[in-house]
């Protein structure tokens, strides 16, 4: 069986929806996903970089993120034909470990928790594929990188791109 490693934030979990919503509430703004095309919120509002970072230091931040549409069904299907690993870069926010683990157990109970990898640099991941929104991680990964579309990566052209989980399904299962 070939092995697929899957990133969590902005791939399995809708990280950005909650992030923008918290920000807009706290600062009475109306930032949209379109405003973030090609950049991160901390680049759009550099003067608030520290406050933005503090959202993520909150141990509960990652616990109630929405699951990306179709992620559960497609990952379940993938796990019949591939060895599925979850590879999440958690070292910037170590306080997120427990919430991320519980989130995976709640929404993806069919996955083996021995296949959860909380890592830093993903060059250490030995898999045939890595599905990730982060170009930095794909550059270091030695297998085939699949770029999952997120507002900040829309201008990247170097990788096979998937825009949603149905496209992941087509790529790996058709």
Cite the active site residues: 7, 9
- Give, in order, the Cα–Cα distances in Å from 68 to each of 22, 122, 138, 163: 18, 22, 20, 11
Residue number, 79 or 149, with CB nearest to Mg ion: 149
What is the number of other CB atoms lying within 10 angstroms of the CB of residue 42? 14
Residues forming the site for Mg ion (CB under 5 A): 7, 9-10, 133
CB 98 within 8 A of CB 18: no
CB of 133 to Mg ion, least distance (A): 4
What is the number of other CB atoms lying within 10 angstroms of the CB of residue 134? 21
Residue number, 133 or 138, with CB nearest to Mg ion: 133
Residue number, 5 or 78, with CB nearest to Mg ion: 5
CB of 41 to Mg ion, least distance (A): 14
CB of 9 to Mg ion, least distance (A): 4
Summary count for the chain: helices (H), strands (E): 7, 6
Residue number, 65 or 111, with CB nearest to Mg ion: 65
- Give, in order, the Cα–Cα distances in Å from 171 to each of 59, 99, 131, 174: 35, 30, 11, 6
Cα gap 169→174, rounded to integer Å: 7
Cα gap 23→107, rounded to integer Å: 26
CB of 134 to Mg ion, least distance (A): 5
């Amino acid at each position: 069986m070939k092995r697929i490693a899957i990133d969590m934030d902005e791939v399995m979990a809708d990280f950005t929806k909650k992030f923008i919503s918290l920000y807009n509430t706290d600062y009475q703004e109306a930032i949209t996903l379109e405003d973030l095309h090609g950049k991160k919120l901390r680049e759009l509002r550099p003067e608030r970089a520290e406050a933005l970072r503090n959202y993520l230091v909150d141990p509960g931040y990652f616990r109630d993120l929405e699951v990306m549409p179709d992620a559960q069904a497609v990952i379940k299907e993938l796990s019949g034909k591939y060895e599925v690993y979850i590879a999440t870069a958690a070292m910037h926010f170590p306080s997120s470990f427990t919430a991320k683990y519980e989130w995976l157990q709640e929404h993806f109970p069919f996955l083996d928790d021995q296949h959860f990898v909380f890592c830093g640099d993903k060059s250490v991941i030995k898999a045939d594929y890595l599905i990730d929104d982060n170009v930095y991680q794909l550059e270091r990964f030695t297998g085939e990188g699949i770029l999952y579309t997120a507002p900040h990566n829309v201008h990247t052209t170097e990788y096979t791109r998937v825009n949603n989980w149905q496209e992941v399904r087509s790529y790996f299962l058709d």
